[in-house]
Amino acid sequence: MSDQNTLRVDVIATTRFTPPDDVPWSTDADGGQALAEFAGRACYRSWDKPKPATATNAGYLRHILEVGHLSVLEHAQATLYIRGLSRSVTHELIRHRHLSFSQLSQRHVIDDPAFVVPDPVADDAELSELFATAARRTREAYDELIEGIQRRLAGSEGATRSKRVRQAAQALLPAARGTEIVVTGNLRAWRQLIAAHGSDHADDELRELTVTCLERLREVEPNAFADFVLTDLPDGRRIASSALVTEG
């Protein structure tokens, strides 16, 4: 049994944008950030870019962020495939209802469960051993439950029995069990997640996930997240914050 997972976040889909041929406008960006600019300019037909400060995509989106007109960011989406996080964190993540989720089934996937070790535990040998012992005992109890429930339901239908066995036994598995999840959201929703959980006040694992999501999103839509600042704290943790007024 593995007692830890390594967080991995991959961008697996982003918005593709193709402006109409008859609109006299172009930009120096592509994808979702270009779409956000197009949507904003469509409100005023400002295709000729009358203001030098907003003539570039970066300048235009910075202005959008400064004034809080973030509805244009809702047209563009990004999908992330996240692995090596705990079910405890996904319980928090799914509270963001403007995001869409498809999570690994704990009932159907029955391979050896991995557990995500919290940072304060992982950094201490004694606490790590205590955690590993508890995880091992949990797995042993899980296996015993599986065997016992199988005997208890021996007369049930085959497929139904198998599902009922796993469904009942999984209730014992802790929130630290590792999981995988696909998350899709528009750029505004991703920004809201980062703003809410990127600070030092957030849960450690959720903050690490949020910061990693920001780093990946910047790789594909940098101008839409340019205002966020990453700061390394003395203890090695990293936080994300924005000095701009981003909601209005």
Helix (H, G, I), strand (E, B) or coil at 212: helix
Q: Could you report the per-residue pLDDT of 123-162, keeping only the tens digit for each? A: 899 999 999 999 999 889 988 998 998 888 887 766 667 7
Q: Which of 23-27, 211-215, 243-247 has the lowest mean pLDDT?
A: 243-247
- Identify the band that residue 221 occupies on the pLDDT scale cut at 50, 70 and 90: very high
Domain 10-79+180-242 classified CATH 3.30.1360.170? yes
Q: Please, which residues bridge with residue 78 across strands?
A: 14, 185
Q: Which of 148-152, 197-201, 227-231 has the lowest mean pLDDT?
A: 148-152
Is the pTM higher than 0.85?
yes
Torsion of CA 192, 194, 195, 196, to 10 degrees: 80
> In the chain, pLDDT over 70 holds for what percent of residues?
93
**Cα→Cα distances 142→104, 176, 203, Å:** 19, 15, 28
| Range picked from 18-27, 132-141, 146-155, 236-245 for highest mean pLDDT | 18-27
Name the burial class of residue 154, with classes exposed (0-12), middle (13-18) and buried (19+) by CB atoms within 10 angstroms of its CB: exposed
Q: What does the alpha-carbon distance between residue 7 and residue 17 come to, in Å, rounded to a whole number? A: 30
Q: What does the alpha-carbon distance between residue 146 and residue 171 come to, in Å, rounded to a whole number? A: 11
- Identify the band that residue 53 occupies on the pLDDT scale cut at 50, 70 and 90: very high
Domain ranges for the chain: 10-79+180-242, 129-175
> In the chain, pLDDT over 90 holds for what percent of residues?
74
Q: What confidence score (pLDDT) does residue 198 get?
A: 97
Q: For residue 155, what is the DSSP state? A: T
**Cα→Cα distances 214→47, 151, 172, 211, Å:** 30, 48, 33, 5
Q: Could you report the per-residue pLDDT of 39-52, keeping only the tens digit for each? A: 999 999 999 999 99
Average pLDDT over the chain, rounded to whole?
91
